Structure 1
Protein backbone atom coordinates (compact mmCIF):
# COMPACT_ATOMS: atom_id res chain seq x y z
CA UNK A 1 0.00 0.00 0.00
CA UNK A 2 2.86 2.37 0.78
CA UNK A 3 4.34 1.51 -2.59
CA UNK A 4 1.22 2.73 -4.40
CA UNK A 5 1.05 5.89 -2.32
CA UNK A 6 4.68 6.77 -3.06
CA UNK A 7 4.23 6.03 -6.77
CA UNK A 8 1.13 8.21 -6.78
CA UNK A 9 3.06 11.08 -5.16
CA UNK A 10 5.85 10.63 -7.70
CA UNK A 11 3.34 10.78 -10.56
CA UNK A 12 1.85 13.93 -9.01
CA UNK A 13 5.24 15.63 -8.86
CA UNK A 14 6.01 14.56 -12.42
CA UNK A 15 2.69 16.06 -13.53
CA UNK A 16 3.49 19.35 -11.77
CA UNK A 17 6.96 19.42 -13.32
CA UNK A 18 5.64 18.70 -16.81
CA UNK A 19 2.89 21.33 -16.67
CA UNK A 20 5.14 23.91 -15.03
CA UNK A 21 2.45 25.33 -12.73
CA UNK A 22 3.08 24.99 -9.00
CA UNK A 23 -0.48 25.28 -7.67
CA UNK A 24 -2.29 23.09 -5.16
CA UNK A 25 -5.09 22.49 -7.61
CA UNK A 26 -2.61 21.26 -10.23
CA UNK A 27 -0.98 18.95 -7.68
CA UNK A 28 -4.38 17.54 -6.65
CA UNK A 29 -5.30 17.04 -10.30
CA UNK A 30 -1.97 15.24 -10.85
CA UNK A 31 -2.64 13.09 -7.78
CA UNK A 32 -6.08 12.12 -9.08
CA UNK A 33 -4.68 11.50 -12.56
CA UNK A 34 -1.90 9.34 -11.10
CA UNK A 35 -4.44 7.49 -8.96
CA UNK A 36 -6.44 6.67 -12.08
CA UNK A 37 -3.33 5.54 -13.99
CA UNK A 38 -2.20 3.30 -11.12
CA UNK A 39 -5.68 1.86 -10.73
CA UNK A 40 -5.90 0.96 -14.42
CA UNK A 41 -2.40 -0.54 -14.42
CA UNK A 42 -2.90 -2.62 -11.26
CA UNK A 43 -6.45 -3.94 -11.60
CA UNK A 44 -5.29 -7.55 -11.67
CA UNK A 45 -3.11 -7.42 -8.54
CA UNK A 46 -4.31 -9.04 -5.34
CA UNK A 47 -3.53 -6.08 -3.05
CA UNK A 48 -6.18 -3.48 -3.87
CA UNK A 49 -6.39 -1.84 -0.40
CA UNK A 50 -4.91 1.45 -1.58
CA UNK A 51 -7.55 1.89 -4.27
CA UNK A 52 -10.36 1.35 -1.77
CA UNK A 53 -8.92 3.43 1.05
CA UNK A 54 -8.16 6.65 -0.83
CA UNK A 55 -11.83 7.32 -1.74
CA UNK A 56 -12.83 6.45 1.85
CA UNK A 57 -10.23 8.88 3.22
CA UNK A 58 -11.48 11.66 0.94
CA UNK A 59 -15.08 10.89 1.93
CA UNK A 60 -14.13 10.93 5.63
CA UNK A 61 -12.34 14.26 5.20
CA UNK A 62 -15.45 15.93 3.77
CA UNK A 63 -17.73 14.23 6.31
CA UNK A 64 -15.59 15.40 9.23
CA UNK A 65 -15.26 18.90 7.75
CA UNK A 66 -19.07 19.13 7.53
CA UNK A 67 -19.48 17.88 11.13
CA UNK A 68 -16.88 20.35 12.39
CA UNK A 69 -18.49 23.30 10.59
CA UNK A 70 -21.90 22.29 11.96
CA UNK A 71 -20.54 22.07 15.53
CA UNK A 72 -18.70 25.40 15.18
CA UNK A 73 -21.88 27.13 14.04
CA UNK A 74 -23.76 25.66 16.98
CA UNK A 75 -21.14 26.82 19.50
CA UNK A 76 -20.79 30.25 17.86
CA UNK A 77 -24.57 30.73 17.91
CA UNK A 78 -24.62 29.84 21.59
CA UNK A 79 -21.83 32.30 22.32
CA UNK A 80 -23.36 35.30 20.52
CA UNK A 81 -26.93 34.87 21.81
CA UNK A 82 -27.83 36.07 25.31
CA UNK A 83 -29.51 32.78 26.25
CA UNK A 84 -27.45 29.62 26.66
CA UNK A 85 -28.72 26.53 24.88
CA UNK A 86 -26.18 24.00 26.07
CA UNK A 87 -27.05 21.02 28.23
CA UNK A 88 -23.72 19.52 29.32
CA UNK A 89 -23.34 15.90 30.27
CA UNK A 90 -20.85 13.09 30.62
CA UNK A 91 -21.54 9.85 28.79
CA UNK A 92 -19.94 6.43 28.67
CA UNK A 93 -19.40 5.64 25.00
CA UNK A 94 -18.77 1.94 24.18
CA UNK A 95 -16.21 1.63 21.41
CA UNK A 96 -15.52 -0.96 18.72
CA UNK A 97 -11.89 0.13 18.31
CA UNK A 98 -9.48 -2.51 19.55
CA UNK A 99 -5.88 -1.38 19.18
CA UNK A 100 -4.28 1.54 20.97
CA UNK A 101 -3.78 3.32 17.63
CA UNK A 102 -7.47 3.01 16.71
CA UNK A 103 -8.57 4.24 20.15
CA UNK A 104 -6.13 7.15 20.00
CA UNK A 105 -7.23 8.27 16.52
CA UNK A 106 -10.92 7.89 17.41
CA UNK A 107 -10.58 9.89 20.62
CA UNK A 108 -8.60 12.57 18.79
CA UNK A 109 -11.29 13.01 16.13
CA UNK A 110 -14.03 13.09 18.77
CA UNK A 111 -12.12 15.77 20.72
CA UNK A 112 -11.52 17.86 17.60
CA UNK A 113 -15.24 18.47 17.25
CA UNK A 114 -16.26 21.57 19.24
CA UNK A 115 -18.52 20.76 22.16
CA UNK A 116 -16.94 17.38 22.96
CA UNK A 117 -14.01 16.50 25.17
CA UNK A 118 -12.53 13.11 26.01
CA UNK A 119 -12.24 12.71 29.75
CA UNK A 120 -10.96 9.18 30.18
CA UNK A 121 -10.66 5.75 28.62
CA UNK A 122 -11.82 2.80 30.69
CA UNK A 123 -9.23 0.39 32.06
CA UNK A 124 -10.51 -2.47 29.90
CA UNK A 125 -10.37 -0.18 26.80
CA UNK A 126 -14.00 -0.91 25.96
CA UNK A 127 -15.40 2.59 26.59
CA UNK A 128 -14.53 6.26 26.39
CA UNK A 129 -15.94 8.84 28.76
CA UNK A 130 -16.91 11.98 26.87
CA UNK A 131 -18.02 15.39 28.13
CA UNK A 132 -20.64 16.66 25.70
CA UNK A 133 -21.69 20.31 25.66
CA UNK A 134 -25.01 19.74 23.85
CA UNK A 135 -26.43 16.48 25.17
CA UNK A 136 -30.13 16.37 24.37
CA UNK A 137 -30.47 12.60 23.93
CA UNK A 138 -27.68 10.28 25.05
CA UNK A 139 -28.76 7.33 22.88
CA UNK A 140 -29.03 9.51 19.77
CA UNK A 141 -25.56 10.99 20.42
CA UNK A 142 -24.04 7.51 20.82
CA UNK A 143 -25.82 6.32 17.66
CA UNK A 144 -24.56 9.29 15.66
CA UNK A 145 -20.97 8.65 16.77
CA UNK A 146 -21.25 4.91 16.07
CA UNK A 147 -22.66 5.35 12.57
CA UNK A 148 -20.62 8.44 11.78
CA UNK A 149 -17.08 9.00 12.97
CA UNK A 150 -16.29 5.60 14.43
CA UNK A 151 -17.64 3.50 11.55
CA UNK A 152 -15.98 5.62 8.85
CA UNK A 153 -12.69 5.83 10.72
CA UNK A 154 -12.49 2.09 11.38
CA UNK A 155 -13.26 1.38 7.71
CA UNK A 156 -10.16 3.38 6.84
CA UNK A 157 -7.90 1.91 9.54
CA UNK A 158 -8.81 -1.77 9.09
Structure 2
Protein backbone atom coordinates (compact mmCIF):
# COMPACT_ATOMS: atom_id res chain seq x y z
CA UNK A 1 0.00 0.00 0.00
CA UNK A 2 1.36 3.40 -0.91
CA UNK A 3 2.23 5.61 2.00
CA UNK A 4 1.87 2.93 4.66
CA UNK A 5 5.47 3.31 5.72
CA UNK A 6 7.18 6.56 6.28
CA UNK A 7 10.69 7.69 5.50
CA UNK A 8 13.10 7.75 8.38
CA UNK A 9 11.03 6.45 11.22
CA UNK A 10 8.66 3.56 10.88
CA UNK A 11 5.19 2.65 9.85
CA UNK A 12 1.92 3.83 11.27
CA UNK A 13 1.57 0.39 12.84
CA UNK A 14 4.90 1.04 14.56
CA UNK A 15 3.56 4.35 15.84
CA UNK A 16 0.51 2.59 17.24
CA UNK A 17 2.67 -0.03 18.97
CA UNK A 18 4.87 2.68 20.45
CA UNK A 19 1.78 4.47 21.72
CA UNK A 20 0.51 1.27 23.36
CA UNK A 21 3.93 0.72 24.92
CA UNK A 22 3.82 4.24 26.38
CA UNK A 23 0.35 3.48 27.76
CA UNK A 24 1.60 0.30 29.46
CA UNK A 25 4.57 2.19 30.89
CA UNK A 26 2.13 4.75 32.22
CA UNK A 27 0.16 1.97 33.94
CA UNK A 28 3.36 0.61 35.50
CA UNK A 29 4.42 4.05 36.73
CA UNK A 30 1.08 4.54 38.50
CA UNK A 31 1.91 1.72 40.96
CA UNK A 32 -1.69 0.54 41.26
CA UNK A 33 -2.69 -2.83 42.72
CA UNK A 34 -4.88 -3.69 39.71
CA UNK A 35 -4.94 -2.96 36.02
CA UNK A 36 -7.47 -0.20 35.33
CA UNK A 37 -8.56 0.55 31.82
CA UNK A 38 -8.96 4.22 32.73
CA UNK A 39 -5.27 4.39 33.69
CA UNK A 40 -4.30 2.65 30.43
CA UNK A 41 -6.50 5.07 28.45
CA UNK A 42 -4.93 8.04 30.22
CA UNK A 43 -1.51 6.62 29.32
CA UNK A 44 -2.65 6.17 25.73
CA UNK A 45 -3.67 9.85 25.61
CA UNK A 46 -0.31 10.84 27.11
CA UNK A 47 1.34 8.68 24.42
CA UNK A 48 -0.61 10.45 21.70
CA UNK A 49 0.64 13.76 23.04
CA UNK A 50 4.25 12.55 23.20
CA UNK A 51 4.14 11.09 19.70
CA UNK A 52 2.50 14.20 18.33
CA UNK A 53 5.19 16.44 19.81
CA UNK A 54 7.95 14.11 18.60
CA UNK A 55 6.42 13.35 15.18
CA UNK A 56 8.83 15.48 13.19
CA UNK A 57 11.82 13.62 14.65
CA UNK A 58 10.53 10.10 14.13
CA UNK A 59 7.67 10.02 11.67
CA UNK A 60 6.74 11.53 8.37
CA UNK A 61 3.01 11.48 9.11
CA UNK A 62 1.26 11.24 12.46
CA UNK A 63 -0.65 7.96 12.54
CA UNK A 64 -3.94 9.43 13.78
CA UNK A 65 -4.12 11.60 10.66
CA UNK A 66 -5.11 8.58 8.58
CA UNK A 67 -7.66 7.48 11.20
CA UNK A 68 -9.27 10.92 11.08
CA UNK A 69 -9.31 10.72 7.27
CA UNK A 70 -11.12 7.35 7.44
CA UNK A 71 -13.71 8.74 9.88
CA UNK A 72 -14.17 11.79 7.62
CA UNK A 73 -14.73 9.49 4.61
CA UNK A 74 -17.30 7.52 6.61
CA UNK A 75 -19.21 10.69 7.52
CA UNK A 76 -19.11 11.91 3.91
CA UNK A 77 -20.53 8.58 2.79
CA UNK A 78 -23.31 8.71 5.39
CA UNK A 79 -24.21 12.27 4.34
CA UNK A 80 -24.29 11.35 0.64
CA UNK A 81 -26.27 8.19 1.36
CA UNK A 82 -28.85 10.20 3.31
CA UNK A 83 -29.08 12.88 0.60
CA UNK A 84 -29.47 10.40 -2.24
CA UNK A 85 -31.99 8.37 -0.23
CA UNK A 86 -34.15 11.47 0.20
CA UNK A 87 -34.01 12.10 -3.56
CA UNK A 88 -34.91 8.46 -4.22
CA UNK A 89 -37.82 8.54 -1.75
CA UNK A 90 -39.15 11.71 -3.40
CA UNK A 91 -39.07 9.91 -6.76
CA UNK A 92 -40.82 6.85 -5.34
CA UNK A 93 -43.55 8.84 -3.60
CA UNK A 94 -44.29 11.15 -6.52
CA UNK A 95 -47.58 10.30 -8.28
CA UNK A 96 -46.02 10.25 -11.74
CA UNK A 97 -42.66 8.73 -12.50
CA UNK A 98 -40.71 11.56 -14.11
CA UNK A 99 -37.23 10.18 -14.57
CA UNK A 100 -34.78 10.28 -17.42
CA UNK A 101 -32.27 7.50 -16.85
CA UNK A 102 -28.97 7.74 -18.63
CA UNK A 103 -25.27 7.06 -18.67
CA UNK A 104 -22.49 9.62 -18.27
CA UNK A 105 -18.74 9.51 -17.72
CA UNK A 106 -16.48 10.71 -14.93
CA UNK A 107 -12.71 11.04 -15.25
CA UNK A 108 -10.86 10.26 -12.01
CA UNK A 109 -7.43 11.18 -10.67
CA UNK A 110 -7.22 8.01 -8.60
CA UNK A 111 -4.51 5.57 -9.63
CA UNK A 112 -4.37 2.42 -7.51
CA UNK A 113 -6.82 -0.45 -7.79
CA UNK A 114 -7.81 -0.02 -4.13
CA UNK A 115 -8.68 3.66 -4.65
CA UNK A 116 -10.66 3.01 -7.82
CA UNK A 117 -12.53 0.09 -6.27
CA UNK A 118 -13.38 2.15 -3.17
CA UNK A 119 -14.75 4.99 -5.30
CA UNK A 120 -16.82 2.61 -7.42
CA UNK A 121 -18.25 0.87 -4.35
CA UNK A 122 -19.03 4.12 -2.53
CA UNK A 123 -20.90 5.42 -5.55
CA UNK A 124 -22.74 2.15 -6.13
CA UNK A 125 -23.89 2.08 -2.52
CA UNK A 126 -25.61 5.43 -2.91
CA UNK A 127 -29.15 4.99 -4.28
CA UNK A 128 -29.97 6.13 -7.79
CA UNK A 129 -26.57 5.56 -9.37
CA UNK A 130 -24.34 2.64 -10.27
CA UNK A 131 -20.93 2.29 -11.89
CA UNK A 132 -21.48 0.21 -15.00
CA UNK A 133 -17.91 -0.01 -16.22
CA UNK A 134 -14.44 1.38 -15.70
CA UNK A 135 -12.24 2.06 -18.71
CA UNK A 136 -9.25 -0.24 -19.34
CA UNK A 137 -6.93 2.64 -18.41
CA UNK A 138 -8.75 2.92 -15.01
CA UNK A 139 -9.32 6.65 -15.34
CA UNK A 140 -12.90 6.88 -16.67
CA UNK A 141 -16.05 5.65 -14.92
CA UNK A 142 -19.23 4.96 -16.86
CA UNK A 143 -22.09 5.72 -14.49
CA UNK A 144 -25.79 5.01 -14.83
CA UNK A 145 -27.99 7.54 -13.04
CA UNK A 146 -31.68 7.19 -12.30
CA UNK A 147 -32.50 10.73 -13.43
CA UNK A 148 -29.83 12.45 -15.53
CA UNK A 149 -31.13 16.05 -15.40
CA UNK A 150 -31.63 16.01 -11.63
CA UNK A 151 -29.04 13.60 -10.29
CA UNK A 152 -26.04 14.00 -12.62
CA UNK A 153 -24.74 17.09 -10.83
CA UNK A 154 -25.27 15.59 -7.38
CA UNK A 155 -23.54 12.35 -8.43
CA UNK A 156 -20.61 14.32 -9.87
CA UNK A 157 -20.40 16.36 -6.66
CA UNK A 158 -20.45 13.16 -4.59
CA UNK A 159 -17.79 11.56 -6.80
CA UNK A 160 -15.48 14.57 -6.41
CA UNK A 161 -16.01 14.62 -2.64
CA UNK A 162 -15.43 10.85 -2.37
CA UNK A 163 -12.34 11.09 -4.57
CA UNK A 164 -10.70 13.76 -2.38
CA UNK A 165 -11.53 11.85 0.82
CA UNK A 166 -10.16 8.59 -0.61
CA UNK A 167 -6.92 10.32 -1.56
CA UNK A 168 -6.59 11.61 2.03
CA UNK A 169 -6.94 8.06 3.32
CA UNK A 170 -4.68 6.27 0.85
CA UNK A 171 -1.92 8.78 0.13
Shorter-chain TM-score tier: 0.7 to 0.9
Shift of 1:108: 0.8
| 1:3 equivalent in structure 2 | 14
8 A Cα contact 2:102 2:146, kept in partner: yes
Measure, in 1, the Cα distance between the counterparts of 2:87 and 2:96: 13
Q: Cα offset for 1:50?
A: 1.8
SS in 2 for 1:136: helix
Provide the secondary structure at the position in 1 that maps to 2:66. Answer: helix
| Residue pair 1:39, 1:51 contacting (<8 A) in 2 also | no
- Larger Cα-atom Rg: 2
- 5+ residue gaps in structure 2? 1-11, 28-35
Give 1:39's match in structure 2, choosing from 52, 57, 76. 52
1:18 corresponds to which of 15, 33, 37? 37
TM-score w.r.t. the length of structure 2 is 0.68
Matched with 2:106 is: 93
Q: TM-score, normalised by structure 1?
A: 0.72
| Distance (whole Å) between structure 2 residues aligned to residue 79 and residue 31 of structure 1 | 49
RMSD: 3.4
Listed as ranges, the matches of 1:1-158 within 5 Å are 1-5=12-16, 18-19=37-38, 35-36=48-49, 38-40=51-53, 42=55, 44-136=57-149, 140-141=153-154, 143-158=156-171
Q: Is the 8 A contact 1:5 1:50 kept in 2?
A: yes
Give the unaligned 5+ runs of structure 1. 20-26
Deviation string 1:7-46 (CA, Å, 9 cap, x unpaired) is 66886xxx9x524xxxxxxx9xx98787556434645323
